[in-house]
Amino acid sequence: MRQQLLSRIADKSAVIGIVGLGYVGLPLMLRFAEVGYKVIGYDIDQRKVDALMNGSSYIEHISADSIQRALMDGFEATCDFARAGEADALILCVPTPLNKYREPDLSFVLNTIDSLVPYLRKGQLVSLESTTYPGTTDEELLPRIESRGLKVGQDAFLVFSPEREDPGNPNFTTRTIPKVCGGVTPACQEVGVALYGAVIDQVVPVSSTRAAEMTKLLENIHRAVNIGLVNEMKIVADKMGIDIFEVIRAAATKPFGFVPYYPGPGLGGHCIPIDPFYLTWKAREYGVNTRFIELAGEVNSGMPDWVVAKVASALNGRKKAINGSRVLVLGIAYKKNVDDMRESPSVFLMEKLRALGAEVAYSDPHVPVFPLMREHHFDLASTELSAASLASFDCVLLATDHDKFDYALIKANAKLIVDTRGKFLEPADHIVRA
């Protein structure tokens, strides 16, 4: 089985199944199709499947042209998981959010593998890419696959290879970002490395699925902790009347021993606000309290409240209350120059301001209409920026610093600007750092 699958991967006759056609799965599909593999995409959202089969893209940085090329190369999208048996490799790219108790929610992963298991067959590889706690692959996926009567490492193969997408970053592509891969057995590892090595420039093998799972958590916890540190430094600097962004720019001139991280209104995206809680939850099973990580999470989670307090203070200084004030939030994607709304701190800011009685609007060139979200509901469309529209708001809150914004126009016409990104370098009476 192993050699047959390796041969099919090598001669590109293997069929690749991508399960979950979002920000991770869609670029991976395009890469496999680009090098000549037949790819089947599986998703539970019929609207996504229909859009792809019509040659359309629902992700801003992925062009319709690239989808159409993939279709010409034989790509198919389907909601029919019964077709899982057609694939030689099934790569799972589904969400791993937190529940309302800030605990791991593996329902998407488990529901997906449970939907696939009845159709698994000998000679297949299953790869999980969804960020999760160490042990998920061998504790949850392994027994489910073997319940089908397949012996992992002999009849079927199982690996964990964490996604490393950075939407909107033109300097890195699916092909050029090194890919970590850990297998349940050495045979699994060999097959997984062969699969990803066919489309990724550098594959980094690790000794186990648990090591691969921990690698992804370390990458994102490293960033979360450092952002937590600089967010705390921002609060201290603000109390002292010091511009933290000026301090960071100065510190970054040191050519060794310092890496600049920048504060903001909170953490966003599908990884950094969530991943630390996956490790802290699992660590309790081993009697370990991850105090350092949890403290960083506490600081970062408190940033939206701190920003709202700065908005209230700034309005108060102009003899206005939040209640009844018109507030325009600039940028509601979680990071600049993308349309990705997952865990965006801007949305939490909007909800907190609305709860305090503000009349909230937003402007985002990447998000023309506020999307349907599981937990957040606004019936809004993006406000077009003009001298008149900016002047009509009591406060303009810069939450996500897209390059497409006309910052000179904003500075010249907004009555009050609360800047959470350090975008306005020159101090002015109507600009407040937050």
Cα–Cα distance list, 119 to 83, 84, 150, 184 (Å): 7, 6, 12, 21
Q: How far apart are CA 126 and CA 5, in angstroms?
A: 12
Q: How far apart are CA 340 and CA 346, in angstroms?
A: 12
Q: Which of 181, 188, 271, 395 is catalytic?
A: 271
Handedness of CA 231, 236, 237, 238 (dihedral sign): positive
| Six-digit token string for 316 | 């108060």
Q: How far apart are CA 114 and CA 141, in angstroms?
A: 9
Q: Crossing angle for the helix pair 291-301 and 275-283, nearest 10 degrees? A: 140
| Six-digit token string for 57 | 């893209």
Task: Specify whether 271 is catalytic.
Answer: yes
Residues belonging to the active site: 271
